[in-house]
């Protein structure tokens, strides 16, 4: 039996948010540290307290990574759906409610990605501001409705980053400098990534830019970078397959001579393997769509996730 290679590390690092008391205490120390440092340079250097961290929550790991990058050392980010988690079917726990209650900002993807977030927000009675990262992103629709996976297009992520930066600046004006410079640097990196991807896909012959993937999460990627994704299952991960749909995919793979079949990191991989076996297509590596990998995996940050996916695609589709 084929083993899925995902071996879990220990439980995800607990992101304990700072309690209100600790926050006050830290603030007090910060105020104290404003005393003329010239008088007691060495002592102050030893006593200088770390700046207070803004407690924020992101709904899932990819978003968490973006927020962490922009927020830097001034924010303490916890992601509700962790690495390799499936946000579509996630069941919130009481701990999530507590995290929400303690947070100042809550970043969500929006576009219907987190079906459970409204109830969780209401239940936690949090006073945090809810920030929709995908605001101002032009959404795609497909057969199932609005496709939420906007982050698969790097250009959209630039919009996400801008929204995140603005929200952070608004919540924590003192950190504005830091946020703006972090965001600027990240936007630059994203620009580079975008160009990289365009070039990489450009290197694949037009006729071969077609793959089958188990999760219909790459609509934005497909639209932007010109690779066609055919999926056996719908956008939701628990739609069950019919024989007719599977037959159509097999037909499509055969007819279009699709070169590769890809497994996604959270759905039953047996479908993709079956299609690959039946059509002679190659089974590509794992594509990460809805979540980062574990820290020791190939996609622990958004940048590495996109680079990993593109590498898998180009390798599998190389003539």
Partner 1 sequence: MLHELLVAPFVDYEFMRRALIGAVALSISGCPLGVFLILRRMSLAGDALSHAILPGAAIGYLACGLSLPAMTFGGLVAGLAVAVASSAAARWTALREDASLAAFYLVSLALGVALVSLKGSNVDLLHVLFGSVLALDDATLIFLAAIASVTLTALALAYRALALDTFDPLFARRASPLGEWIPFAFLALVVLNLVAGFHALGTLMAVGIIMLPAASARLWTRDLTMTLPLAAAIGVASSYFGLVLSFHSGLAAGPVIILVAGAAYFASLIFGQTGGVVRLWRPKRHLEG
Binding site for partner 1 (CB under 8 A): 1-4, 6-8, 11-12, 81-86, 89-91, 93, 237-238, 240-247, 250, 266-268, 270-271, 273-275, 277-278
Based on CB atoms, which residue is closest to partner 1, 1 or 38? 1
CB 315, min distance to partner 1, A: 23
- 180 vs 273, beta carbon nearer partner 1: 273
User: Would you say 178 or 261 has its CB closer to partner 1?
Assistant: 261
- Closer of 257 and 270 to partner 1 (Cβ): 270
CA proximity to 263, closest of 233, 295, 225: 233
3-state secondary structure of 58: strand
Q: Any idea what the Cα angle at residue 160 is, between residues 300 and 181, rounded to 5°?
A: 80
| DSSP string over 213-232 | ESS---HHHHHHH--EEE-S
Q: 232-238: long-range contacts at Cβ-Cβ below 8 A with a sequence spacing of 24 or more? A: 232/271, 232/272, 232/275, 233/267, 233/271, 234/143, 234/144, 235/142, 235/144, 235/145, 235/147, 235/148, 236/88, 236/144, 237/86, 237/88, 237/89, 237/266, 237/267, 238/88, 238/89
Kindly state the smallest distance separating residue 267's Cβ from partner 1, in Å.
Answer: 8
Q: In the complex, what is the shortest distance from the CB of residue 4 to partner 1, in angstroms, rounded to a whole number? A: 4
- Residue 56 or 266: which CB sits closer to partner 1? 266
For partner 1, the closer CB: 2 or 296: 2
State how far the Cα of 52 lies from the Cα of 204, in Å rounded to an integer.
48
Q: Positive or negative, the Cα torsion across 180, 77, 52, 101? A: positive
Give min distance, CB of 291 to partner 1, in A.
9
The closest alpha carbon to 128, from 151, 102, 104, belongs to: 104
Calpha distance 49→29 (Å, rounded): 6
The minimum distance between CB 141 and partner 1, in angstroms, equals: 21
Considering the complex, what minimum distance in angstroms separates the CB of residue 103 from partner 1? 18
Q: Which is nearer to partner 1, 69 or 237 (CB)?
A: 237
């Amino acid at each position: 039996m084929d083993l899925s290679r995902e071996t879990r590390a220990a439980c995800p690092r607990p992101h304990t948010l700072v309690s209100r008391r600790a926050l006050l205490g830290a603030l007090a120390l910060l105020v104290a540290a404003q005393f003329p440092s010239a008088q007691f340079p060495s002592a102050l250097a030893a006593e200088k307290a770390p700046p207070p961290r803004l407690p924020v929550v992101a709904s899932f790991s990819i978003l968490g990574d973006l927020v962490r990058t922009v927020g830097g050392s001034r924010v303490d980010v916890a992601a509700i759906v962790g690495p390799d988690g499936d946000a579509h079917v996630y069941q919130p726990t009481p701990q999530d409610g507590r995290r929400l209650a303690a947070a100042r900002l809550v970043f969500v993807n929006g576009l219907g990605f987190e079906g459970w977030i409204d109830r969780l927000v209401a239940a936690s009675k949090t006073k945090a501001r809810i920030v929709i990262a995908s605001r101002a992103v032009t959404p795609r629709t497909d057969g199932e409705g609005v496709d939420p996976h906007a982050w698969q297009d790097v250009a959209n992520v630039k919009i996400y980053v801008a929204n995140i930066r603005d929200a952070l600046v608004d919540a924590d004006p003192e950190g504005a400098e830091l946020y703006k410079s972090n965001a600027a640097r990240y936007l630059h990196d994203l620009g580079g990534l975008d160009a990289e991807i365009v070039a990489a896909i450009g290197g694949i012959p037009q006729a071969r830019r077609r793959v089958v993937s188990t999760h219909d999460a790459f609509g934005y990627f497909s639209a932007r970078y010109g690779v066609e994704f055919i999926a056996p299952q719908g956008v939701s991960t628990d739609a069950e397959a019919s024989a007719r749909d599977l037959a159509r995919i097999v037909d499509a793979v055969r007819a279009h001579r699709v070169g590769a079949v890809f497994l996604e990191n959270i759905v039953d991989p047996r479908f993709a393997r079956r299609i690959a076996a039946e059509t002679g297509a190659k089974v590509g590596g794992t594509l990460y769509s809805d979540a980062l990998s574990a820290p020791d995996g190939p996609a622990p940050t958004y940048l590495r996730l996109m680079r990993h996916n593109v590498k898998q695609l180009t390798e599998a589709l190389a003539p």
